[in-house]
């Protein structure tokens, strides 16, 4: 949004809607459900994938994620050595077919709520905000995840899966915009996209929203809550700084540690709106 936008055309009100990612944002501290299952799916084809490699394309739809993994130079080399040819779309289809039932089976196992999620939801609803969400998960996985989250007390007003829309998923704006339509929000500039991945930040920016990145709870740091608790303050700061740098470079307006810190970020965004800023 240009700084020269006439004042009459700028958005001046409060934040109306929050669009959350799921793994690494609301549930699954460290975002392990997607990554570990991808590692296991590739292992079934005799291909070793490291956790760091699995995390690189995180945030994409899972078919796209698998394809992007196969294009990483070292992964492509391993595939070529084992099968004598580069990975093709039919191979991606086969990997996805192996991945999907594993993901459905295991998603709840990894998807405990991230500390602070319930309290933040209560606060944001009390301020009149509607709660949307979207994910790189396909609908069949979301249909397993949503009841598990509800059992823990977490309810969203709308959830979009990556295969719900013909247009596709991240980094395009479509899932975020589908939430805007369903929630009945009149201006995308009244929305905030909260995500732990670079494609998720790109999604929010493409939709014209404010964006908040999560540095410690999600994919960019990639540690469980217990693992993070074992680190020294200096080591935690190293992880925070590296993750924040990547998310900021992607265009995040604010970067916080986890959803527990979101209320302060929303206050800061509303202060910027009151000062005339736009996303």
pLDDT of residue 2: 45
By C-alpha distance, which of 129, 186, 123, 187 is closest to 158? 129
Tens digits of per-residue pLDDT, 12-23?
999 999 999 999
Tens digits of per-residue pLDDT, 148-205?
999 999 999 999 999 999 998 899 999 999 999 999 999 999 999 999 999 999 999 9
How does DSSP classify residue 61?
Answer: -
Q: Between the CA of residue 16 and those of 132, 148, 191, 210, what are the distances in Å?
A: 11, 26, 6, 12
Under-50 pLDDT residues of the chain: 1-2
Structural domains of the chain in order of their starting residue, each with its CATH number: 14-32+111-274 (3.40.50.1000), 33-108 (1.10.150.240)
Give long-range contacts, CB 8 A cutoff, 24+ apart: 251-254.
Answer: 251/201, 251/202, 251/205, 251/211, 252/201, 252/211, 252/212, 252/213, 253/210, 253/211, 253/212, 253/279, 254/210, 254/211, 254/212, 254/213
pLDDT of residue 59: 85
Positive or negative, the Cα torsion across 175, 176, 178, 182?
positive
Is the distance from CB of 252 to CB of 201 less than 8 angstroms? yes
CB atoms closer than 10 angstroms to residue 109: 13
* Pairing assessment for the beta strands 254-256 and 210-214 based on DSSP bridges: parallel
Per the omega criterion (within 30 degrees of 0), is the bond before 22 cis? no
pLDDT of residue 4: 54
Query: Angle at CA 169, nearest 5°, toward 166 and 174?
Result: 70
Question: Which residues does the annotation mark as catalytic?
Answer: 21, 62
């Amino acid at each position: 949004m240009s700084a020269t936008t006439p004042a009459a055309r700028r958005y001046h009100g409060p934040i109306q809607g929050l669009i959350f990612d799921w793994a690494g944002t609301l549930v699954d501290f460290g975002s392990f459900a997607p990554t570990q299952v991808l590692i296991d799916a590739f292992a079934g084809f005799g291909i070793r994938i490291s956790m760091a490699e699995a995390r690189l394309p995180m945030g994409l739809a899972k078919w796209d994620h698998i394809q992007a993994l196969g294009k990483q130079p070292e992964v492509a080399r391993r595939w070529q050595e084992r099968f004598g040819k580069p990975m093709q779309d039919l191979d991606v289809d086969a990997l996805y077919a192996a991945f999907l039932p594993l993901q459905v089976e295991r998603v709840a196992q990894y998807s405990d709520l991230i500390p602070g999620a319930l309290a933040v939801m209560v606060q944001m609803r009390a301020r009149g905000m509607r709660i949307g969400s979207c994910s790189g998960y396909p609908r069949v996985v979301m249909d397993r995840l949503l009841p598990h989250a509800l059992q823990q007390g977490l309810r969203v007003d709308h959830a979009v899966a990556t295969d719900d829309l013909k247009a596709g998923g991240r980094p395009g704006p479509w899932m975020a915009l589908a939430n805007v339509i369903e929630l009945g929000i009149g201006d995308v500039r009244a929305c905030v996209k909260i995500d732990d991945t670079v494609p998720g930040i790109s999604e929010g920016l493409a939709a014209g929203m404010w964006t908040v990145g999560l540095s410690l709870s999600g994919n960019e740091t990639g540690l469980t809550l217990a693992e993070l608790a074992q680190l020294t303050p200096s080591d935690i700061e190293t992880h925070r700084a590296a993750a924040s740098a990547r998310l900021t470079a992607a265009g995040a307006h604010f970067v916080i540690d986890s959803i527990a810190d979101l209320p302060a970020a929303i206050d800061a965004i509303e202060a910027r709106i009151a000062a005339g800023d736009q996303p």
